[in-house]
Amino acid sequence: MAAKKSAPKAAPKTLKPAEKTGKAELPPKVQKAPRAGKPAATADVVVIGGGHNGLVAAAYLARAGVKTILVEARTELGGMALTGDVDGVRAPMLAHTVGRFRPRVARDLGLQGKVKLVEPEARNFAPHPTNGTAITLWRDAKRTAAELATRPNGEKVAAGYLKLDGRMRRIGAYFEKVLDGIPPDLDGGKSVAELLAGFAFRAPFTGLEEGDGREILRMLPMSAADLVNEYINDDHLEALISWRGSRYNASGPISPGTGASLLFDSITGDGADGGASGETVVAIGGPGALISAIADAARGFGAEIRTGAQVTAITERDGRVTGVALASGEEIIAPYVLSTLDPKSTLLNLLGVEATGPELRRRLRATRNTGVTAKLNILLDQLPAFPSAGSAAEQEVRLRGRITILSDILGIERAFDSSKYGEMSDVPVVEAMIPTLIDPSLTNDKRHLLSVVVQYAPVDLKGGWTADARKTLADRAVAVLESVAPGMSGHIVARQLITPADLQSDWGATGGHAMHVNEGFDQFAQWRPLYGIGRYETPIDGLFLSGAGTAPGGGVTGAPGANAAEKLIRHLRRAAE
């Protein structure tokens, strides 16, 4: 009866884990085979995954007095928010901005001041690949509009941009208040109709005026292209803004539902500031600096963090979680497990059919998580010149933002089309950052890093991700960069490519999807990843889902981790009463 004693004993009196069923009192499987004579560790909650969401969840849990052990399979923390190494230089491995990290989370965990964040004036620089023009989206929308006004049909475009930016900020504020937290419950006799009706009554409380409320109900299922086109008629600018609805995802700007992902990417309010330009914030020392800060906070609250600890199974007994089994043979006994792995890894790989049931597996298998985004990290012996950004001095300013290279909506769609049939784009969409412009400490000399998102490169590439295929993709991305920064390829010292296949094998993301589960209105909010498990709880008693594959979605936000932890903490409090 070790489990019965150990689990509750581990919990502070105020926070007893649920003991509602006799089942929970049965000794967990682990007791039958304590390997290597090691006594099994015990905790209230095991958090699986040491990415930003796992660390945030662990910090919230520990802060609430819950005995928490976090296990990360890799030897270092960070998951996809990692500061890694390119030819001896520290570089953002995957994510290169942390602008969407939720201020509420930073406040709750006391992260302010622990990590230095820099937000450049220029958020997004878009040199046109063929016609030599460029667009800069500044933090200050008026400054953007002033520059747009000089384009053909500029007055109209500028006015449209300001109108769209205003709308996106107001709706972004609503997202921040209503859609960024734990999704509302559609169940218990409630219905879609009631939820929609709820907008009418909820609106006043969120400061959402009727016009915006009506627009939300119309915009969520829209395509980003249609959404933006209602405000702006400018091929390049339309492509640039609507692109954010498909970035990191297997969709194109014409795909319906990308309106939802565009709006989610533009969350505004409570210190966040998205709008039509989107966030661009860089952590000094790379995203890893943010990770260290969260990890320190978690440890400070008393969470135990283990790296190099790969979970091979979530142990359960009669539908009740009993802990996790590690590759080392060790097991950790815990009545609760919160997994920030992608939902397929958690429910299909770490649990058997007897635990999940065939129905859930059938529906989950069909969720969309085909990774199409690769990352190319380039070390250059000098700062590349982007003529369309103007004088050298001007370039230094404009190039601090995200550098997005695309021409028009159909151009992005063409790049997307190939990926539907297992082929990489002939001309990929490229979004680069030069982190060393903002954080010279990364190289400490005149060398610069070019951190490049390359899309579309499907995980299921025909013929597989051979050395040749990898070279082809990298070359195609460099060719796109070369088109707006002539000569840059001559300055490449080292390049490092991470394909979706690598995300699958080295980061354990099923389908190699950077967002775990494809984003869009079809896998959104309460039905992300699936209706029925979209509110962090699962049919397996004691198992909670979190991570990018749950609401509100992917990106370095910390929101899914915080929401899932809050849900679990409420559950523990109720159970303790």
Residue 266 C-beta: closest distance to another protein, Å: 18
Instruction: Please state the closest distance from residue 549 (CB atom) to another protein, in A.
Output: 16
* Single residue of 151, 163, 177, 414 touching another protein by CB under 8 A: 414
Task: Work out how close the CB of 501 gets to another protein at its nearest, in angstroms, rounded to a whole number.
Answer: 22
**443 versus 550: smaller Cβ distance to another protein:** 550
427: contact with another protein by CB under 8 A: no
Give the residue among 400, 141, 123 at the shortest CA–CA distance from 278. Answer: 123
Kindly tell me which residue out of 155, 194, 381, 394 binds another protein, with binding defined by CB under 8 A: 194
Q: Which residue shows structure tokens 């910390």?
A: 558
DSSP per-residue string spanning 450-486: EEEEEE---TT-TT-S-HHHHHHHHHHHHHHHHHHST
Helix (H, G, I), strand (E, B) or coil at 489: helix
C-alpha to C-alpha distances, 92 to 105, 285, 340, 439, 575, nearest whole angstrom: 22, 9, 21, 11, 42
**Residue 155 or 194 with smaller CB distance to another protein:** 194
Q: Residue 423 interacts with another protein (CB under 8 A)?
A: no
* Angle formed at CA 265 by CA 434 and CA 98, multiple of 5 degrees: 40
Cβ-contact 572, 565 below 8 angstroms: no
263 makes contact with another protein (CB under 8 A): no
The reply on whether position 193 binds another protein by CB under 8 A is yes
Neighbours of 22 (CB within 10 A): 8
Question: Measured from the CB atom, is 1 or 366 closer to another protein?
Answer: 366
Give the per-residue SS3 of 371-422.
Answer: CCEEEEEEEECCCCCCHHHCCHHHHHHHCCCEEEECCCHHHHHHHHHHHHCC
Residue 413 as a binder of another protein (CB under 8 A): the answer is yes
Cα–Cα distance for residue pair 401/462, rounded to 1 Å: 34
Q: Which is nearer to another protein, 187 or 426 (CB)?
A: 187
Report the distance separating Cα 248 and Cα 262, nearest Å: 12
Closest approach, Cβ 514 to another protein, in A, equals: 19
Give the HSE-up count for residue 235: Cα atoms under 13 Å, Cβ half-sphere: 12
Contacts for 525 with CB less than 8 Å, ≥ 6 apart: 179, 183, 534, 551, 552
Phi, psi (deg, nearest 5) at residue 55: -65, -40
- Contact between 76 and another protein by CB under 8 A: the answer reads no
- Shortest separation between residue 565's beta carbon and another protein, angstroms: 25
SS3 432: strand
Q: Closest approach of Cβ 538 to another protein, in Å?
A: 12
Residues 276-305 as x/- pattern, contact with another protein by CB under 8 A: ------------------------------
Q: Which stretch binds another protein (CB under 8 A): 27-35, 183-191, 498-506, 565-573?
A: 183-191
Per CB under 8 A, does 97 bind another protein? no
Interaction with another protein in 122-161: which residues (CB under 8 A)?
none
- Please report, as a single letter, which amino acid is at residue 307: T
Q: Which of these segments, 93-101, 254-262, 267-275, 474-482, binds another protein (CB under 8 A)?
A: 254-262
Give whichever of 306 and 414 is closer to another protein, judged by the CB atom.
414
| Residue 475 makes contact with another protein by CB under 8 A | no
Footprint of another protein on residues 51-70 (CB under 8 A)?
Answer: none
| Residue in 63, 62, 101 with CA at minimum distance from that of residue 81 | 101
217 touches another protein (CB under 8 A): yes
Minimum distance from residue 560 beta carbon to another protein (Å)? 19
Site string for another protein, 480-519 (x = CB under 8 A): ----------------------------------------
Look-up: residue for tokens 């300013």? 397
Binding mask 523-552 for another protein (x = CB under 8 A): xx--x--xxx--------------------
Reading across the β-sheet that carries 543-545, which strands appear in turn? 304-306, 68-71, 45-48, 336-339, 543-545
Spatial CA neighbour of 6 closest among 33, 39, 36:
39
Residue length of the chain: 577
Q: Does 36 bind another protein (CB under 8 A)?
A: no
13 binding another protein? (CB under 8 A): no
CA dihedral 533, 345, 366, 530 (to 10 degrees): 10
The answer to whether the peptide bond before residue 358 is cis (omega within 30 degrees of 0) is no
Q: Is 137 helix (H, G, I), strand (E, B) or coil?
A: strand
Give dist(CA 542, CA 60) in Å, integer. 17
* Nearer of residues 248 and 521 to another protein, judged by Cβ: 521
Interactions with another protein, residue window 350-379 (CB under 8 A): 359, 362-363, 366, 368
Residues 6+ apart with CB under 8 A from 333: 2, 3, 6, 7, 28, 30, 40, 41, 42, 43, 322, 323
Stretch that binds another protein, among 96-104, 253-261, 328-336, 389-397 (CB under 8 A): 253-261
Tell me the window of 2-10, 35-43, 235-243, 413-421 that interacts with another protein (CB under 8 A). Answer: 413-421
- Report the residue from 25, 87, 226, 408 that binds another protein according to the rule CB under 8 A: 226
Q: Binding marks (x or -) toward another protein, 197..216, rule CB under 8 A?
A: x-xx---------xx-xx--
- Of 64-72, 249-257, 423-431, 507-515, the segment contacting another protein by CB under 8 A is 249-257
Binding of residue 255 to another protein (CB under 8 A): yes
- Which of residues 219, 228, 295, 497 is near another protein by CB under 8 A? 219
* Contact footprint for another protein (CB under 8 A): 186-194, 196-197, 199-200, 210-211, 213-214, 217-222, 226, 230, 251, 254-257, 359, 362-363, 366, 368, 410, 413-414, 417, 420-421, 520-524, 527, 530-532
